[in-house]
Amino acid sequence: MKKDILLVEPAYKNPYPPLGLMKISTWHKRKGDNVDFIKDTPHDPKLDLFEKNNVCYKKLRDHYDIVYVTSLFTYQAHYVATSVNYYKNRFPDSQIRVGGIMATLMPEYIEKKTGINPHIGLLQGVEDCPPDYSLFPNLEYSVTFATRGCRRDCPFCAVKKHEPEFFVKENWPGDIDITKKGIIFWDNNWLMSPNFEKDVERLLEFKKIGIKNIDFNQGLDCRVFDEYKAKLLRKVNPKPLRFAFDNCSEDGHIQKAIKLAQKKGFNDIRVYVLYNFEDPSDTPEYFYYRINEINKLEALSYPMRYRPLNDLTGQYISDNWDKELLRALKLSLMFYYQKGMVTKNRESFKKIYGNNPDEFKEKLYLIYKHDKQLKKKKT
């Protein structure tokens, strides 16, 4: 019997499409079901007229057999709970299913706030379906995973909880829409895949038919980036080429990886840099050391603030950092640099962040002080 299905992405900000919902859409459409998708609007119980002001809600059916609600980061949890409770009330006879990363990391929160026991991890069967790109007709790229999980066990990372097993996805080419300009991979550690050479061959075939833009969005492991892999990867030519310098275990490896990549002709190299982690080595001084090393090598660094896996606010401050430094660093990335990246220009780097860790902290405290003074003037 044909069913009516509603897919809901809560009202949090997300620059990428909800891949899980896109796969669920394909799964149900293959069964002949009707599928609707909605990007939710923030719900305010005091505002009864918000639906009338949002055309998207007018398109909803009077009843759905199943409503799927996805989730992303834990500090966006309140959006998820609000969406779930709204659709529970609007469609009391519907089955509500909740899943995604946040729901997997904090199932007890979902159950407490909504009364629903969420799905943990990946949906078997659904995971093998290609994404339904018709939900996002203006999307310019395909999204996929060539592998799931990760062979590392980094203490700051959620992957081991969400995808505990590392395995190869043989059927990832089926996720690709050949009419789109590029492919974004969300693999957590693709360079450790036993299918690395095979995947390169597949990517070269896609490039032959006009898919030029390849991006391993989560970054590549600098510790296993060697001459052989660099040579093969240069044929694929991902843009940008992404690495990470999250902790001291990557020191030395990241410098070699950047130099090797540059030697092979990669010009757009970007490095994720974790900070504010709950580890004795994660200090403002060591953060400066890392972004300085990257800048000296003429690569771009992309600072990423750490938040605990159970953090509901996004305001966590580790023992080695303080709110002044964190606020000032955020401001420096917003106003001095584009898109939160520390660019290659050496003189600009020194002017903004100084010549050493002490100057770095001094300059950030000055930024914070100036920001505070501006706020006082406005009030």
Find the CATH number of the domain harbouring 328. 3.20.20
Kindly state whether residues 212 and 327 are assigned to the same domain.
yes
Kindly state whether residues 86 and 196 are assigned to the same domain.
no
Kindly state whether residues 54 and 194 are assigned to the same domain.
no
Instruction: With a cut of 80, say whether residue 56 has pLDDT above it.
Output: no
Find the CATH number of the domain harbouring 78. 3.40.50
Instruction: With a cut of 50, say whether residue 48 has pLDDT above it.
Output: no
The rounded distance, in Å, linking the Cα atoms of 286 and 305 is 14
The rounded distance, in Å, linking the Cα atoms of 171 and 156 is 30
- Identify whether 377 is part of a domain: no
Kindly state whether residues 75 and 198 are assigned to the same domain.
no
- Identify whether 132 is part of a domain: no
SS3 70: coil
Instruction: With a cut of 70, say whether residue 352 has pLDDT above it.
Output: yes
Alpha-carbon Rg for the chain in angstroms: 23
CA triple 15-156-321, angle to 5 deg: 90
- Identify whether 123 is part of a domain: no
Number of structural domains in the chain: 2
Q: What percent of the chain has pLDDT over 70?
A: 96
The rounded distance, in Å, linking the Cα atoms of 203 and 31 is 31
Categorize the per-residue pLDDT at 182 as very low, low, confident or very high, splitting at 50, 70 and 90: very high
Kindly state whether residues 185 and 320 are assigned to the same domain.
yes
Cis peptide before 240 (omega within 30 of 0): yes
The rounded distance, in Å, linking the Cα atoms of 342 and 304 is 12
> Which pLDDT score is estimated for 44?
63
Per-residue pLDDT tens for 192-211? 999 999 999 999 999 999 99
Kindly state whether residues 362 and 274 are assigned to the same domain.
yes
The rounded distance, in Å, linking the Cα atoms of 221 and 215 is 14
Kindly state whether residues 186 and 291 are assigned to the same domain.
yes
Domain span at 160? 138-372
> Which pLDDT score is estimated for 290?
98
- Identify whether 125 is part of a domain: no
Instruction: With a cut of 60, say whether residue 49 has pLDDT above it.
Output: no
Kindly state whether residues 144 and 68 are assigned to the same domain.
no
Instruction: With a cut of 50, say whether residue 366 has pLDDT above it.
Output: yes
Tokens of 1: 């019997």
Residue 379 bridge partners (DSSP): none
The rounded distance, in Å, linking the Cα atoms of 152 and 166 is 9
> At 8, which helix (H) or strand (E)?
strand 4-9
**Domain end point (choices 53, 82, 114):** 114
Kindly state whether residues 61 and 159 are assigned to the same domain.
no
Kindly state whether residues 38 and 151 are assigned to the same domain.
no
- pTM of the full structure: 0.92
The rounded distance, in Å, linking the Cα atoms of 236 and 199 is 10
**Domain end point (choices 114, 149, 170):** 114
Kindly state whether residues 196 and 335 are assigned to the same domain.
yes
Kindly state whether residues 220 and 79 are assigned to the same domain.
no
Categorize the per-residue pLDDT at 338 as very low, low, confident or very high, splitting at 50, 70 and 90: confident
> Which pLDDT score is estimated for 1?
87
**Domain end point (choices 114, 147, 175):** 114
Per-residue pLDDT tens for 91-149? 999 999 999 999 999 999 999 999 999 999 988 889 999 999 999 999 999 999 999 99
Q: Report the Cα–Cα distance between both ends of the chain, in Å, rounded.
A: 61
Could you tell me if 336 and 363 are in contact, meaning their C-beta atoms sit under 8 angstroms apart? no
Residues whose CB is less than 8 angstroms from the CB of residue 138 and which lie 6 or more positions away in sequence, other chains included: none
Chain position carrying tokens 């406005």:
378
- Identify whether 153 is part of a domain: yes
- Identify whether 326 is part of a domain: yes
Categorize the per-residue pLDDT at 42 as very low, low, confident or very high, splitting at 50, 70 and 90: confident
> Which pLDDT score is estimated for 262?
98
- Identify whether 333 is part of a domain: yes
The rounded distance, in Å, linking the Cα atoms of 160 and 104 is 11
- Identify whether 79 is part of a domain: yes
Mean pLDDT of 41-49: 59
